[in-house]
Amino acid sequence: MAEEITNERNARKIREGLVVSNKMNQTAVIAVVERVRHAKYDKFVLRTKKLYAHDAENDVNIGDRVRVMEIRPMSKLKRWRIVEILERAK
């Protein structure tokens, strides 16, 4: 029997992070920090990953806390889109 073809998309990844750069046009760099348990020492280690996110209106500032969603590749490095601004920088 052949598998049924469905038009449903898989769930997209969603991350929260801090804006560390907004110098590029329509692009912001988001730092996402995650706590990972070390395999050998069983201690939690902070891992930071930089994500390049699409910001169509250029309205995020450095220090803003944002939520980003995974999208299809827009450029060489840009694979995320800013969904909402959770908290503005003070």
pLDDT band at 2 (very low <50, low <70, confident <90, very high): low
pLDDT value of residue 65: 98
CA atoms within 13 A of residue 72's CA, in its CB half-sphere: 1
| pLDDT averaged over every residue in the chain | 94
Residue 5 forms part of a structural domain? no
| E strands present in the chain | 14-21, 27-37, 44-54, 65-70, 78-87
Residue 3 forms part of a structural domain? no
- Tally the residues of the chain: 90
Count structural domains, the chain: 1
pLDDT tens per residue, range 35-63? 999 999 999 999 999 999 999 999 999 99
Residue 9 forms part of a structural domain? no
pLDDT value of residue 90: 87
Give this prediction's pTM.
0.85
The CATH number of residue 54's host domain is 2.40.50.140
Beta bridge partners, 80, equal 53, 70
Domain that holds residue 25: 14-87
pLDDT value of residue 1: 58
